[in-house]
Amino acid sequence: MYELIQITDVSYYIQSPAKIGLVRLSEQDVCLIDSGNDKDAGRKVRQILDANGWRLAAIYNTHSNADHIGGNRYLQGQTGCRVFAPGLECAFTNYPILEPSFLYGGYPCKELRHKFLLAQPSAAEPLTPEALPPGFQIIELPGHFFDMVGFRTPDNVVYLADCLSSRETLEKYQIGFIYDVAAYLATLEKVKTMEARLFVPAHAAAAADIAALAQYNIDKVWEIAVKIVELCREPLCFEAVLRRLFDAYSLNLDFEQYVLVGSTVRSYLAWLHDTGRLAARFEGNMLLWERI
């Protein structure tokens, strides 16, 4: 873990729970794409930088989930590097309490205020094309989170952030986190047609061809959607839908899964309602969802 993997003369990634991209900008300067999940991750990245005599010029965050921005504060404090994050992700990076608050739908209880959902704040600036090193391109990848992006480097390596998961992850957890189902499907369709020297997803193996994995993720989204519609053949409240999904896939509910999968299921319900597959009504002071 935290092994530096070289892709080209200038592009690398650091093998970690959420892969960290590293690109050499000159003989001395490098930038990171994301920073890992906590201070310890930041320390390990710093050790890699020091061992190679590199200076960290900037961190480009793909999005603001804690496992991608958790090393920002340590590395920024140690090196003085700049941090950039796209759109709404910039606000979440500056004020990380927004993530568990958004997921829970209110002030998060102590079981949700931990490093996996609540990073330390860092001084992030808005990501714009002008903020990028020469030759870099921003790739918009919305759906998993608000304004998530990926990056294409000048040597045609594409860092894909969290826009898809490995087969192993989906087989284990079944329901990947999604904020906007329609946008997520559109992103996967776009990724399926991309070409690059190498794709580096944060939570799947690096590969020269990503199309089959993108399609697998698409198929899993539709599987979950069909399952929810089937469950709602009778009127169900959100909690009942969530419980029956966990029962159907033999999953165990805890606080973290409640907010991550729960937020995702709410997104599915909204999308299925907006696209005419589910009706929503209030009855007995409960919001009920029912197949149309």
Q: Which whole number is the average pLDDT over 238-264?
A: 97
For 253-265, what is each residue's pLDDT tens digit? 999 999 999 999 9
Q: Average pLDDT of the chain?
A: 98
Q: Residues 6 or more apart from 104 whose CB is under 8 A from it? A: 112, 259
- Residue-number span of the structural domain to which 237 is assigned: 229-291
Find the CATH number of the domain harbouring 263. 1.10.10
Same domain, 117 and 234: no
Is 101 domain-assigned? yes
pLDDT in tens, 146-177: 999 999 999 999 999 999 999 999 999 999 99
Report the 10 Å Cβ neighbour count for 23. 25
- Are residues 7 and 125 both part of a single domain? yes
The CA distance from 261 to 259, in Å, is 6
Read off the CATH number of the domain in which 43 is found: 3.60.15.10
Adjacency order of strands within the sheet including 149-152: 137-140, 149-152, 157-161, 198-201
Residue ending a domain, choose from 88, 112, 133: 133
The alpha carbon of residue 200 and the mean position of all alpha carbons in its chain are separated, in whole angstroms, by 13
Domain boundary among 133, 163, 198: 133
Do 126 and 234 lie in a common domain? no
What pLDDT sits at residue 165?
97
What's residue 123's pLDDT? 98
Q: How far apart are CA 78 and CA 122, in angstroms?
A: 12
Question: Do residue 239 and residue 127 come from a single domain?
Answer: no
**183 within some domain:** no
pTM: 0.97
Confirm whether 63 is domain-assigned.
yes
Residue 178 lies in a domain: no
Number of helices (H) and strands (E) in the chain: give both, helices first. Answer: 10, 13
In the prediction, which pLDDT does 134 show? 97
Per residue in 77-127, pLDDT (tens digit) is: 999 999 999 999 999 999 999 999 999 999 999 999 999 999 999 999 999
The pLDDT > 70 percentage for the chain reads 100
| Domain-embedded: residue 160 | no
pLDDT at 21: 98
Angle between the N-to-C axes of helices 39-52 and 72-79, in degrees from 0 to 180, rounded to the nearest 10: 40
- Cα angle value 46/50/54 (rounded, 5°): 100
Q: What's the mean pLDDT in 46-69?
A: 98
Q: Could you tell me if 123 and 244 lie in one domain?
A: no
The total of structural domains in the chain comes to 2
Give the closest residue to 204 by CA, choosing from 216, 222, 193. Answer: 216
Q: Stretch 31-58: mean pLDDT, rounded?
A: 98
Are 128 and 8 part of one and the same domain?
yes
pLDDT for 202 equals 98
- Identify the H or E element spanning 260: helix 255-274
**Residue 127 and residue 233 share a domain:** no
What mean pLDDT do residues 199-224 have? 98
Domain end position, chosen among 80, 106, 133: 133
